[in-house]
Structure 1
Amino acid sequence: MSRKGENIYRRKDGRWEARYIKGHRLNGRIHYGYCYGKTYHEARDKMNQARFALMNNQPQSVHGRRKRLSDYCDEWLCLKRSSVKPATFVKYTTILEKYIKPDLGEYFSEAVSEILVEQFSYHLLHEKNLSQKTVRDILSVLNSILDYTVKQNPLARSVEIVYPRAEQKEMRVLTVEEQKRFTEYLLKDMDVCRFGVLLALMTGLRIGELCALKWGDISLEEKVIYVRHTMQRLKDLNPVSEEKTRIVTGGPKSGKSARVIPMNEDIANLCARWKKDNPDAYILTGKKEQFLEPRTLQYRMKLYTDACNLEGVHFHTLRHSFATRCVEAGFEIRSLSEILGHSSTRITLECYVHSSMKLKRANMEKLKLKTDEMKKIFRL
């Protein structure tokens, strides 16, 4: 019998046989590949290695065989491997393997039409109940693959994709009172982890940037923080690996994300209190050999917010709250955008600036009529 639907069987001769999809024949039927081993694990490992080789080496298709969309998906992904960040490559791989290839992969490239894509989009939205942003991300990847397909196959035609309308959700932001309460909690019985959370609240650091931050990235003499790296837990795409995920430390999210954040006196004094002599020590642990990964930090953040009775607050709320406090203090938007590491001020204004009712009311008061003539009108 096979184990867990993996197409791995024990033969009558005692060997284990693993079957995987190698391609498709001229009649459209699946062409299977077979691997054999003395044990289940040996056959499984050989099958995983064969799959991995297919995905990465991209063997040439048999001459005359019509390619399916899944073939172009694999080729497109192979070309992206060296040009995108590891996190982006994992995201592309997940989208292809989980959504695009299972639903559209068996179609011949020239059969993909606007109607088919619309049905696919509707299926994702209303049957799989994915968010509009997730569906837009999936369709964006599909659009890139279809563009690549048109360049490779003269029979394929351009497909105009209709994206679902994006609805901007209001992000949770700490009120001034909530931020004061949370800050007081972090300062009481402070340890290195609480110090890091407070530092993020005071600077707008992303969770991955904070986890990767070392004391060598903080200059008390210059009063600046150099954001050079980010830490992420990503899916391990190596099929022979025992682990499902792995920790990856690399460059920041984008080119603009590599930035220098100036520190005010309060932030500098806070850092001076916890600074370690070893520049290679992580600020969240104080040790060179030990780091605190984002998932663990999120768990601790949940403990902190629960203790303060703060509902609907997660780590990214700190970044939005920092941006909102900056706007309330009259920050110049261009400077705020650079401190946050955004590629443009539009992102800062549309996604990270949350105006409080107090600030809205103060701005409305600026429009009060002040001439004596208009005052007389209101007395009438």
Structure 2
Amino acid sequence: MAKGENIFKRKDGRWEAHYIKSSEDNGKIRYGSCYGKTYAEAKAKVIEAMAEKTNSMVSDDHVKEKKFSFYCDCWLDLRSIQIKTSSYVKYQNGIEKHVKPYLGDLYLKDITTEKISAFSHDLLNEKKLSTKSVRDILTCVRSILCYVNRQTHGVLSHVEITYPRERPKAIRILTEQEESELILYLAKEMNVGKFAVYLALRTGMRIGEICALRWKDISFSDETICISNTVQRIKNISSEVDSKTVLMIDSPKSDKSRRIIPLMPDIAALCMKFYQNEPEYFVLTGSKNCMEPRKLQRYLRSYTKECSLEGIHFHTLRHTFATRCVEVGFDVKTLSEILGHASISVTLERYVHPNLNLKRENMKRLKVADCFSSEESDSAVN
């Protein structure tokens, strides 16, 4: 199935495409279906069905008098056939929890640059959201504004969005001594939980990617690990399932996140300790049911508490791996591909944390002017 399209092949050989037909006040979604003999036919039909639905919703003569919440719903409907379910849920949560309460009851004529700025200020200073969360919500609003402009011949083209500046935060990285202590602890009475933590330290894999790892993804002959899925628990938006949340196994967050990384000898040896000749079984559970990411997070908290390590989250292991790679001289392109980043800039900005010793060693490689000798420097100090 193509990412985010909800198009799949049925047992009878036909292709079925799902789209959002209607949504209830409680957020539950009802789906419609289109069928085709081929993938392309099913996709074409569902795009046509969504277009007809949208056109019927926005074609009345008083379109400019529609409230902003109306266009939020229209935009969400269109995006539902283009993005992953997890991304859809993220957008829906942001719109229902933040965008609609502040902007939803406004008519288009009342949407202004000043109103968007006030909304941004409210999210940052009243709701106390992180800068990244506010930027994500504003990106969603910008996309909705673009949609409105396409439907109304640019009625909101004058509205501008200014993003709050991101302030770099201090990121927790394990020191070499802390990492050694943690590894020594993990090595004692090794189990699947400890193996998962060690795997993150040695590969930089995300928690959802580790939970989604199946035995078919590990090749001992090629010495590779194939990362093609991720696991996360998300809000349930289907009226067909009676639960607040569902465990979603899906493709990774971006095409670059689908990747193959080397299977190192220490990881291979640990894999053999738990190996089962069942390709579809998940590595951490030894069954067809995957481990909950939350369960793995609890394991990590328990292990770090035993080691007296504070402020350690699963993503800390990923940052630590990236830092160790930089310290031993990895080129950024290779590291970026191993981490599954969409671009090298992400690796540089978020995950490369050279310490003071590394900075000092690099600066020592610079050529020093001959006119300054160590003796002269010593005498100057004295």
Same fold, TM exceeding 0.5?
A: yes
CA pair 174-184 structure 1, distance change in 2 beyond 3 A = same
What secondary structure does 1:247 align onto?
Answer: strand
Q: Verify the 8 A CA contact 1:196 1:283 in the aligned structure 2.
A: no
The aligned counterpart of 2:326 is 327
The aligned counterpart of 2:372 is 374
What secondary structure does 2:57 align onto?
Answer: coil
What secondary structure does 2:171 align onto?
Answer: coil
CA pair 370-47 structure 1, distance change in 2 beyond 3 A = closer
Residues 1:269 and 2:266 are matched in the alignment: no
What secondary structure does 1:256 align onto?
Answer: helix
Structure 1 residue identity aligned to 2:106? Y
The aligned counterpart of 1:242 is 242
Report 1:208-357 matches (<5 A).
Answer: 208-239=208-239, 241-287=241-287, 289-357=288-356
* 1:106-155, Cα deviation, whole Å (9 max, x unpaired): 11112211111111111111111111111111111111111111111137
Q: Verify the 8 A CA contact 1:298 1:315 in the aligned structure 2.
A: yes
What secondary structure does 1:261 align onto?
Answer: strand
| Aligned counterparts of 1:130 and 1:221: Cα–Cα separation in 2 | 47
Q: Verify the 8 A CA contact 1:257 1:340 in the aligned structure 2.
A: yes
The aligned counterpart of 2:57 is 60
* 1:192-229, Cα deviation, whole Å (9 max, x unpaired): 12112111110111000000001111111111100011
Report 1:16-35 matches (<5 A).
Answer: none
What secondary structure does 1:202 align onto?
Answer: helix
Q: Verify the 8 A CA contact 1:92 1:141 in the aligned structure 2.
A: yes
Q: Verify the 8 A CA contact 1:182 1:308 in the aligned structure 2.
A: yes
Structure 1 residue identity aligned to 2:197? V
CA pair 155-346 structure 1, distance change in 2 beyond 3 A = closer
The aligned counterpart of 1:186 is 186
* 1:19-72, Cα deviation, whole Å (9 max, x unpaired): xxxxxxxxxxxxxxxxxxxxxxxxxxx976997459996673694442111111
What secondary structure does 2:209 align onto?
Answer: helix
* 1:349-370, Cα deviation, whole Å (9 max, x unpaired): 1100111222122223223627
Q: Percent identity between the aligned chains?
A: 43
CA pair 218-189 structure 1, distance change in 2 beyond 3 A = same
What is the TM-score when the length of structure 2 is the normalising length?
Answer: 0.82
| Aligned counterparts of 1:232 and 1:252: Cα–Cα separation in 2 | 10
The aligned counterpart of 1:113 is 112
The aligned counterpart of 2:16 is none
CA pair 70-54 structure 1, distance change in 2 beyond 3 A = farther
Report 1:27-176 matches (<5 A).
Answer: 52=29, 60=57, 63-65=60-62, 66-154=65-153, 156-158=155-157, 159-176=159-176
| Aligned counterparts of 2:128 and 2:26: Cα–Cα separation in 1 | 34
| Aligned counterparts of 2:376 and 2:170: Cα–Cα separation in 1 | 39
Unpaired runs of at least 5, structure 2: 1-22, 33-49
| Aligned counterparts of 1:356 and 1:98: Cα–Cα separation in 2 | 40
CA RMSD, Structure 1 to Structure 2 (Å): 2.4
CA pair 260-51 structure 1, distance change in 2 beyond 3 A = closer
Please report how far the alpha carbon of residue 377 of structure 1 lies from its aligned counterpart in structure 2 after TM superposition: 5.1
* 1:128-184, Cα deviation, whole Å (9 max, x unpaired): 111111111111111111111111113722211111111121211111001001111
Structure 1 residue identity aligned to 2:252? P
Number of equivalent positions = 333
Structure 1 residue identity aligned to 2:264? N
Please report how far the alpha carbon of residue 343 of structure 1 lies from its aligned counterpart in structure 2 after TM superposition: 1.4
Please report how far the alpha carbon of residue 300 of structure 1 lies from its aligned counterpart in structure 2 after TM superposition: 1.3
Please report how far the alpha carbon of residue 281 of structure 1 lies from its aligned counterpart in structure 2 after TM superposition: 1.7
Q: Verify the 8 A CA contact 2:28 2:238 in the aligned structure 1.
A: no
Please say which structure displays the higher CA radius of gyration.
Answer: 1
CA pair 124-50 structure 1, distance change in 2 beyond 3 A = closer
The aligned counterpart of 1:361 is 360
The aligned counterpart of 2:45 is none
